[in-house]
Chains A and B, each alone.
Chain A
Amino acid sequence: EIVLTQSPGTLSLSPGERATLSCRASQSVSSSYLAWYQQKPGQAPRLLIYGASSRATGIPDRFSGSGSGTDFTLTISRLEPEDFAVYYCQQYGSSPEGTFGQGTKVEIK
């Protein structure tokens, strides 16, 4: 089973600042089958990034993903008020479980 560890647990930033979120896998994620999701209170998660670096339909270009193998990063170049939320990484590769990371909360400083 691939375990995903996200850091930090909470990121306190101000609007306009840059956010850098990390996701580390216990084993290599095959073919960069790594996705990032945003979840706001009371809402279902929303797909942001798939294939480690491809933006999903309608996602603003301030969101970018990078990485391969075991280390992946989600970057929000300039935080907008609506970006304060919880972010999850997920691998959808070889493991049957489709595991998620534990999440990173981006909160207003």
Chain B
Amino acid sequence: QVQLQQWGAGLLKPSETLSLTCAVYGGSFSGYYWSWIRQPPGKGLEWIGEINHSGSTNYNPSLKSRVTISVDTSKNQFSLKLSSVTAADTAVYYCARGRKYYDILTGYYNRAPFDYWGQGTLVTVSS
């Protein structure tokens, strides 16, 4: 059974850098891309970006200039950094498995939904 456990600072001041980490337990870490998704209070879901075990990343263009996602394969962990936060970045941040998996038969990555999620971390940006 795959489990994702995430942690990080929950209260930031404007202009600081948000930092969250997600640990993956069970399943194949190297066979998937791993994503960060956020949800402002009372609003919908926004995909932030993704990374695979070799460090290949894709980011949402709307956040790309401020986002860095990194991976530590020795610990099966991946991390999110979002710089220069403002109140608009206040949200619950989730880590999740997806949007791609490695197909051994074809040698290519195929698309995959977000099938496992972390518990979520509320990050509040306030002066």
Contacts and interface: CB of A to CB of B under 8 A. Distances in A.
Contacts of B119: 44
Q: Is the interface of B mostly helix, strand, loop or mixed?
A: strand
B114 to A, nearest CB: 6
B11 interface: no
A81 interface: no
The A interface, classified by DSSP as helix, strand, loop or mixed, is: loop
A47 interface: yes
A84 interface: no
A44 B120 contact: yes
Contacts of B111: 31, 33, 92-93
Contacts of B96: 44
Interface string A86-101: 0010101100111111
Interface residues of A, number: 22
Nearest to A88: B45
Interface in B58-74: 58, 60-61
Interface of B: 35, 44-47, 58, 60-61, 94, 96, 98-99, 111-115, 117-120
